[in-house]
Amino acid sequence: MTLHILIPCKSLGDGKTRLAQALDAKARRALCTSFLQRTLDVALALVPPPRCHVIASDGDAAAIAVSRGVTHCDDPGIGLNEALRQGRERICRNAAEEFALLIFPIDLPWATATVLADLVRRTADVVIAPDRERTGTNALYLGPRAARRFVFQFGAASFFAHRSAATHLGLRVDVCEDARLSFDIDRPEDYFEWQRGEDDPWTR
């Protein structure tokens, strides 16, 4: 069994618009670029470049991926779930053996290779790392029984939707409660908390 990592990435110039009250467009683009580069660093500590895949419509994001030897998958621009489905289809076409799949967004600044390695070592078919409100999904692991057939449910209340989807398919579900995965940067207050280092999991 091999692990593949899918990294969805919005256009670097269009990402994190909800931070507009804290950062201008140039700063938001720089932040998203930094997040993508860091996410690739973490992912490539777990898998070799051919098993790491960046989904992006942005040429600069694609260039960053290609410069690291990572596969670039085009984002069809019709929603995250469809982009992930098409990215997975590409893996399925090229995978001659069973594989597992980790969905790893770029805005998890405290995520580390160690915590992700712990997540993918769990024996459940589906492992969900929820956000701090336990409504969204920050990271999603699909074991070999789930990787090819699980239906992505990112969006409003995706934590509950993913649990329900797994149960519907008769898959074993586990929830990964880890502060390094539950913290994401979506709102200005998240950004300022990250900048201040308040409640930083590394200080625990």
Instruction: Please choose, from the candidates 162, 196, 199, the residue with its C-alpha nearest in 3D space to the C-alpha of residue 183.
Output: 199
Q: Is 80 in contact with 8 (CB distance < 8 Å)? A: yes
Q: The domain 2-196 is classified under which CATH number: 3.10.520.10, 3.90.79.10, 3.90.550.10, 3.40.190.10? A: 3.90.550.10
Q: Report pTM.
A: 0.93
Summarised one tens digit per residue, pLDDT across range 86-135 is 999 999 988 778 999 999 999 999 999 999 999 999 999 999 999 999 99
Summarised one tens digit per residue, pLDDT across range 15-47 is 888 888 888 999 999 999 999 999 999 999 999
CA distance 66 to 128: 28
